[in-house]
Structure 1
Amino acid sequence: MTRTILVAAAAAALLAGCAGSRERKGYILDQELASAIQVGVDNKDSVSRTLGRPTFTGQFNENEWYYVARNTATLAFRLPRVTDQTVLRIRFDQAGNVAGIDRTGKELVASIDPYGRQTPTLGRRKSFFEDVFGGIGIAGAGVPGAGNAPAQ
């Protein structure tokens, strides 16, 4: 009887590791509040009061605010996949008034696949021993004051 309970508990623990999970990341976008923002009417202060601080501002233009909301799902030990994403971009003119509002979804999510877990580099390939012992004897070579500088 005890053995059956132990086997059942072990099986339950193993199956619990295979369960999926869902996560919500970033800004929680309220559709009514987002649709209340109007071009030419609102400014940075009113947008900040209505939607709160942006997720991030534009890297090259601080007059662009981004609100990013993303939902992901993970099954067992797989990498998370994006199930839903909304990016709300609000552009301001030089006076700080709303000049445009753009909304995109998960169609812009890029899947980046690394190349063989290595970064290809240009140049000569070194063996293990060349990497380990290749620097012996060249420390300070050509550096003034390292003992090999010409006498004055």
Structure 2
Amino acid sequence: MRTTKILGATLMVAVGLTLGACSSIRESRGYVVDNVLLSSVQPGIDNQRSVEMTLGRPTFTSQFGDPTWYYVSSTTGRKPFVRPRVQAHQVLAVKFGPDGDVVSAERSGLDQVVYLTPDGDETPTLGRERGFLEDLFGNIGTVGQPGLGGQGGPGGPGT
């Protein structure tokens, strides 16, 4: 009777540890979203300095066109030994006019995210395909041949 209780308790602990190890790990990445602060940015009222004082430094800024600050936030979840999956994604784009005043503040979410899948493990390039042995032994005999630039270097006959 006693061994049955010990065996049952051990089994319950093992099941509990197994289920605990399979729970999802949640991670926040990027800007920590505070909806009250995000909604306080008003076009025509705020400027770059007030936005920076309210929201902090942006995640990144635009390099071309109208000055735009982007605040990017993502929440991912993953199970152990599995790639993380995006559960929530939010971007606040604050556009400024030439005088530094806020022109617009637009939010976008996971519906605007584009997933790219590369075509295989190699990038296609123009030119001929060379094998490993051609790469390894391809230059043997070409150094110093006339017309290939090997003769006119430092210390060669032309100096």
Both structures adopt the same fold (TM-score exceeding 0.5): yes
Deviation of the 1:32 alpha carbon: 0.8
Structure 1 counterpart of 2:149:
142
Deviation of the 1:142 alpha carbon: 2.2
Q: SS of the residue aligned with 1:136?
A: coil
Q: SS of the residue aligned with 1:117?
A: coil
How many pairs are equivalent? 143
Deviation of the 1:20 alpha carbon: 2.9
Deviation of the 1:80 alpha carbon: 1.4
Alpha carbons 2:66, 2:95 under 8 Å: kept: no
Deviation per CA, 1:45-96, whole angstroms, max 9, x where unpaired? 1111111111111122472101111001112322211110110000010110
Q: Give distance in 1, aligned partners of 2:152 and 2:98.
A: 56
Structure 2 counterpart of 1:110:
114
The structure whose Rg is larger is: 2
Q: Mapping of 1:37-116 within 5 angstroms?
A: 37-61=41-65, 63-116=67-120
Structure 1: tracts of 5 or more residues without a match: none
Normalised to the residue count of structure 2, the TM-score between the two structures is 0.76
Q: Give distance in 2, aligned partners of 1:84 and 1:124.
A: 44
Measured on the aligned residues, the alpha-carbon RMSD in Å equals 2.7
Change (3 A) 1:146 1:30: same
Structure 2 counterpart of 1:32:
36
Normalised to the residue count of structure 1, the TM-score between the two structures is 0.79
Structure 2: tracts of 5 or more residues without a match: none
